[in-house]
Structure formats: structure tokens, C-alpha cells
């Protein structure tokens, strides 16, 4: 949803939310759980994650709450489900505590899937009469949760000593392995800096936090053409990277000591855990599942730094950075804050992004789990600096002396 400072594109500028597109996006969420057991769908490995069943229910709740509840002839689900599947919308009402979503064995997955079918059918039947901006927001929201569902499944399955496979036929992991090589020597792309504009403009969907488009001054900088590789990060580890306090922010060093970090999230000896289960780690693949603290420490050892989000967007728009999208989310050095002139929309949908603009850092690009067509160069993802269960990687930057 847009901020009040920037007008959402008109319905004619948005992707066509016709019945076929609604059906395709909604069905994709259900495809992601094909072959999984009901026990798998209630799995919540940690408080920050959510069970797959909850993702499937929450996305249906979103459409029902904000679009379908006022449609003539539509029968909402059990009113108590609003409490179960509300995520963080205070304006809507109370909600089940996030850390306890894994306790929700009821409603059953069969009931949730029936509800999803009813919601999808209603969306297809009423789509020409629904608010086009809210309908598009709901579809983009569903695609966000498709990525979240997969990364939460990976986290949960990684905690099982049996090392189960979450996606036995995952084309996503296969495509990532084939397209994500980092065998080329690290090259730097220079940018002259100056007054640049960043943020979304023109036609097409965008989230409210991508606007208003505004100007920023950049000093000359250089940015790495590609992402940091597993092999390069292994050298950081071999050089005592996780034992050298001078490389870490104070808070990050405390996290390393407390949690016993000694490698990226899913590294296991010479392997790494993936949606395909345990796989041999490729030295020339980009290192993934790193926290901001780890990315920052690696950059410091390399005599570099993380790019600001303005540097990243300007470089990606003008220089064709390799692996800019479709590979890994890339940490920036920018805290997640509102753009100048940003103001959240009125009502519950105004809680979508604006209320999280503190204590987090911005990631740019997209990742191999991001649904096709959901990525944009202006997309601002955000997580707390200790988070590393999402598909996050590292791109280096450095100052250029004029």
C-alpha cells in the first residue's frame, strides 16, 4: 500500500489482477507444500518463523479481512480465525502470539485448504468489483509469504537430525546452483557519485516504503561486480574471523559469543543444508544465510564495507551488477528508515511497513526463493542485524579517493 505522500499507481498502471493471475498466484502457495506431511506444516523452528499452515491461512485471512468481508453473499470463516491468522495489525484486533503459532494443530490443514479454495473462488468471482490497489497488494503479499514459507521450512527442517528434504524436486535450488557461480576474480565498478535519485517512480506496483522518490548525495565509490563466494568466506573463517573481536560491532560480537557462531547458518562440515537436504557446498557459489553482523565483519576484514542502499540502487540501475536480482538478498549498510516525506497510509494497511522502521537494516535485490516478477531494484527488504535464516549474501563496496 502507498504512503500518503505518494499516490499509488492507478488501476490501469497496475498488473492486471484477472481471474487467471489470481488463480496462478494462489495455487503457487499450495504447490509449495506438495509432498509434505501434516506434521511438517505445523513446524515452527523458532519464534521468528511461522509454520507453513499459518502462512497459508494468513494470506487467506488478508484477502478476507481487507477485501472480501464486504462482498454480498460471501460467508467469512469462523470469526475466531481472525485471532489466529492476524499477524501484526493492531487496528484489526488481538492476535495469537507469534511464538506460539506452532501450537495451532487446529484448524487442520484440510480445513485451511478448503478455506483457501473458498477465498480464491470469491476473489475470482468478484475481482472486477474489488479495490484494484488492495487486490494487487494482497497478491504481492501472498508472494512475499511464498518466500517466507520456504525459508521458514528450511529453518525448521534444518533442526531435525534426520535432515529431511523440504522440496525434493526444487527447481529453485537447482537453478540457484547453476546460475550463481562466483569463480571470476573480484572486480570493482566505480561510480562517480554526485546527486542521485532513488526510490520508485512511474507505473507498476510498489510498496509504500519504496517512496517517495528523492535525491541523495553520494561520494565517489566502488562496488563489487559480484557477490562474495563460499570459498572467500571460508578464508575469512580460516583467518580466525569468528574469533577476532576487532572485526565485529560490539553487539555482533556478543551475539557470536552467546550463540556460538563459527560459520554461516546452514554450513555443515564440507556441506550445507538446503531445501534439497544436505548438499556438497560449492566454493564458487555465493555465500548465503549470513547475518548483517557477519556481512559487516567480513567486509571489514576485506578492507571494504557494505554499500549503502542508495549506492546499491544507483549502481544496479546503471552498471548491470552481476547477481543483482534472483540470487541472494544483499545486506546494505543502511538502517531501515523512512524516505524523506514518507507517511504511512491511514487505517490498518498503514501498518504494513512503516511500523518496522527501527532496529533493522535494509537488504536489496531479491533471492532465488523470490517469486518471478516480484523483484524490483527499488524493493526494500529489512531484517534485524542478527537474522540469518533468510537467503542473504554479501556485496562489498569501498570509497574512491578523487
Q: Give per-residue pLDDT as tens, 192-215.
A: 999 999 999 988 999 999 999 999
In a domain, 3, yes or no: no
Same domain, yes or no, for 278 and 335?
yes
pLDDT digits (tens, 9 = 90+) for 287-326: 999 999 999 999 999 999 999 999 999 999 997 799 999 9
Same domain, yes or no, for 79 and 196?
no
Which residues, 6 or more positions from 247, have their beta carbon under 8 angstroms from its beta carbon? 241, 297, 300, 301
For residue 95, what are the domain limits? 11-165
Query: Percent helix, strand and coil across the chain, each rounded to 5?
Result: 40, 15, 50
Distances in whole angstroms, Cα of residue 330 to Cα of each of 67, 309, 393: 34, 10, 5
pLDDT at 26: 98
Q: What is the total count of domains within the chain? A: 2
Same domain, yes or no, for 97 and 237?
no
Q: In what order do the strands lie in the sheet with 277-280?
A: 267-268, 271-274, 277-280
Same domain, yes or no, for 281 and 366?
yes
Inform me whether the pLDDT recorded for 262 exceeds 80: yes
- Match 489482477 to its residue by C-alpha cell: 17
Same domain, yes or no, for 76 and 181?
no
In a domain, 314, yes or no: yes
Task: Of 96-100, 177-181, 293-297, 302-306, give the lowest mean pLDDT range.
Answer: 177-181
In a domain, 220, yes or no: yes
In a domain, 2, yes or no: no
- Of 165, 187, 219, at which residue does a domain stop? 165
In a domain, 193, yes or no: yes
Instruction: For residue 368, give the 3-state DSSP assignment.
Output: coil
Same domain, yes or no, for 92 and 152?
yes
Same domain, yes or no, for 114 and 189?
no
Same domain, yes or no, for 335 and 247?
yes
Per-residue confidence band for 180, with pLDDT thresholds at 50, 70 and 90: low
- Match 548525495 to its residue by C-alpha cell: 217
What's this model's pTM, rounded to 2 decimal places? 0.94
CATH number for 252? 3.90.1580.10
Dihedral sign for Cα 12, 373, 314, 189, please: negative
Same domain, yes or no, for 245 and 308?
yes
* Contact present, 127 and 19 (Cβ < 8 Å): yes
- Of 105, 136, 165, at which residue does a domain stop? 165
Same domain, yes or no, for 327 and 228?
yes
Same domain, yes or no, for 146 and 210?
no
- Of 133, 165, 197, at which residue does a domain stop? 165
In a domain, 79, yes or no: yes
Cis before residue 212, ω within 30 degrees of 0? yes
pLDDT at 6: 33
In a domain, 4, yes or no: no
In a domain, 5, yes or no: no
Q: Could you tell me if residue 289 is left (phi over 0), alpha (psi between -120 and 50 degrees) or otherwise beta?
A: left
Helices 250-259 + 292-301 axis angle, to 10: 110
Same domain, yes or no, for 293 and 372?
yes
Amino acid at each position: 500500500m502507498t504512503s500518503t505522500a505518494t499516490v499509488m499507481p492507478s488501476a490501469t498502471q497496475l498488473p492486471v489482477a484477472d481471474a487467471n493471475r489470481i488463480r496462478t498466484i494462489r495455487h503457487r502457495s499450495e504447490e509449495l507444500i506438495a509432498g509434505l506431511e501434516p506434521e511438517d506444516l505445523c513446524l515452527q523452528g523458532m519464534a521468528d518463523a511461522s509454520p507453513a499452515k499459518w502462512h497459508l491461512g494468513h494470506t487467506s485471512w488478508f484477502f478476507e479481512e481487507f477485501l472480501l468481508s464486504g462482498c454480498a453473499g460471501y460467508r467469512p470463516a469462523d470469526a475466531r480465525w481472525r485471532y489466529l491468522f492476524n499477524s501484526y495489525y493492531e487496528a484489526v484486533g488481538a492476535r495469537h502470539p507469534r511464538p506460539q503459532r506452532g501450537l495451532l494443530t487446529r484448524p487442520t490443514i484440510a480445513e485451511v485448504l478448503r478455506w483457501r479454495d473458498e477465498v480464491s473462488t470469491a476473489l475470482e468471482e468478484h475481482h472486477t468489483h474489488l479495490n484494484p490497489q488492495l487486490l494487487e497488494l494482497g497478491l504481492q503479499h501472498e508472494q512475499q509469504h511464498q518466500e517466507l514459507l520456504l525459508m521458514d521450512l528450511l529453518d525448521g527442517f534444518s533442526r531435525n537430525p534426520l535432515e529431511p528434504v523440504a522440496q525434493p524436486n526444487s527447481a529453485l535450488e537447482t537453478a540457484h546452483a547453476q546460475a550463481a557461480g562466483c569463480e571470476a576474480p573480484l572486480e570493482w565498478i566505480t561510480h562517480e557519485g554526485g546527486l542521485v535519485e532513488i526510490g520508485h517512480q512511474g507505473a507498476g506496483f510498489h510498496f509504500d516504503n519504496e517512496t517517495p522518490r528523492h535525491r541523495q548525495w553520494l561520494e565517489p565509490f566502488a562496488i563489487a561486480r559480484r557477490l562474495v563466494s563460499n570459498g572467500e568466506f571460508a578464508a575469512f573463517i580460516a583467518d580466525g574471523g569468528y574469533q577476532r573481536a576487532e572485526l565485529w560491532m560490539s553487539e555482533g560480537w556478543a551475539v557470536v559469543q552467546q550463540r556460538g557462531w563459527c560459520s554461516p547458518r546452514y554450513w555443515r562440515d564440507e556441506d550445507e543444508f538446503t531445501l534439497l537436504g544436505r548438499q556438497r557446498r560449492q566454493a564458487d557459489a555465493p555465500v548465503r544465510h549470513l547475518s548483517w553482523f557477519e556481512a559487516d565483519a567480513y567486509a571489514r576484514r576485506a578492507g571494504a564495507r557494505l554499500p549503502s542502499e542508495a549506492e546499491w540502487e544507483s549502481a544496479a540501475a546503471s552498471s548491470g551488477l552481476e547477481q543483482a536480482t534472483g540470487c541472494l538478498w544483499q545486506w546494505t549498510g543502511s538502517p531501515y528508515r523512512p524516505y524523506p516525506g514518507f507517511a504511512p497510509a491511514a487505517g490498518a494497511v498503514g501498518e504494513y511497513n512503516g511500523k518496522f522502521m527501527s532496529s533493522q537494516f535494509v537488504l536489496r535485490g531479491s533471492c532465488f526463493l523470490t517469486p518471478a516478477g516480484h523483484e524490483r531494484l527499488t524493493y526494500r527488504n529489512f531484517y534485524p542485524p542478527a537474522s540469518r535464516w533468510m537467503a542473504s549474501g554479501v556485496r562489498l563496496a569501498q570509497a574512491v579517493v578523487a
